[in-house]
């Protein structure tokens, strides 16, 4: 029996009511915020699993998942299109369900296998902290809070970790503007750093497909002629 099959068999034995699947070659266990702590504790301490290491915790925003503003249907030699075709959005991948997710990646050094845990979330974005089970979750959870606005209940120090102290919003959410809301500059008159509204006009540069580079076609023809 392969290690993946053995892991799935043990997961089904211990957690028969939970959704288990294989995606991109990795076993994924889908949980709810209510079941996270008890199952995470079992995964960490039970010898059938022995997931000693938490390697990552991250947020996911599925807003407009699968929507494309441009699909190149034929080759072009003109480089970049200067504006997105916003009136012709195409849904490449169909998806239904909550907008947000929290994803955990676990590693068992004892059994040499990996497990992905996924929790799908709608508002309110709150899940229990697993810092008391895996201390490495501390900064990972702070990062997910900072960038996605996901709250981790009972986290010992849930503060922003990457953005500024006065930052407003969560920059990895898909509805957060690429240029942000404010820009920082030093004001010589007041002698301090100030925040000003961003005056950048958003536009999208969408690369087209260039299947063959024609820049040297004339040179090649000249060589053939000679």
Q: pLDDT at position 41, please?
A: 96
Both 9 and 73 in one domain: the answer is no
Residue 20 structural domain: 1-62+98-158
Both 56 and 2 in one domain: the answer is yes
Q: pLDDT at position 196, please?
A: 81
Both 105 and 92 in one domain: the answer is no
The pLDDT tens digits for 35-48 are: 999 999 999 999 99
Low-confidence ranges of the chain (pLDDT < 70): 1, 70-87, 201-226
Both 86 and 184 in one domain: the answer is yes
Both 222 and 121 in one domain: the answer is no
Both 110 and 181 in one domain: the answer is no
Q: pLDDT at position 193, please?
A: 81
Is the Cβ–Cβ distance between 117 and 26 less than 8 Å? no
Q: Which DSSP string corresponds to 45-63?
A: H-TTT---EEEEEEEEE-T
Q: Which DSSP string corresponds to 148-210?
A: H--EEET-TT---SSS-TT--S-TTSTTS-TT-SEEEEEETTTTEEEEEE--------EEPP-
Q: pLDDT at position 79, please?
A: 57
Q: pLDDT at position 86, please?
A: 61
């Amino acid at each position: 029996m392969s290690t993946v099959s053995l892991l799935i068999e043990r997961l089904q034995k211990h957690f028969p009511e939970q959704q288990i699947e294989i995606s991109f070659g990795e076993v994924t266990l889908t949980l709810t915020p209510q079941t996270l702590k008890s199952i995470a504790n079992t995964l960490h301490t039970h010898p059938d699993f022995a997931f000693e290491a938490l390697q990552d915790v991250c947020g996911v925003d599925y807003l407009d998942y699968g929507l494309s503003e441009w699909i190149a249907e034929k080759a072009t030699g003109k480089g970049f299109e200067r504006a997105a075709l916003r009136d012709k959005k195409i849904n490449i991948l169909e998806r239904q369900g909550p907008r947000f997710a929290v994803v955990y990646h676990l590693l068992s050094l004892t059994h040499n296998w990996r497990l992905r845990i996924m929790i799908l979330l709608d508002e309110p974005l709150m899940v229990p902290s697993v810092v008391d089970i895996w201390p490495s979750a501390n900064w990972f959870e702070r990062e997910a809070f900072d960038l996605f606005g996901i709250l981790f209940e009972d986290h010992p120090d849930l503060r922003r970790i990457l953005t500024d102290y006065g930052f407003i919003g969560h920059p990895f959410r898909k509805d957060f503007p690429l240029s942000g809301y404010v820009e920082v500059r030093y004001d010589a008159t007041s002698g301090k750093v100030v925040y000003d509204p961003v005056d950048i006009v958003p536009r999208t540069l969408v690369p087209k497909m260039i299947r063959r580079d024609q820049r040297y076609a004339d040179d090649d023809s000249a060589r053939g002629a000679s």
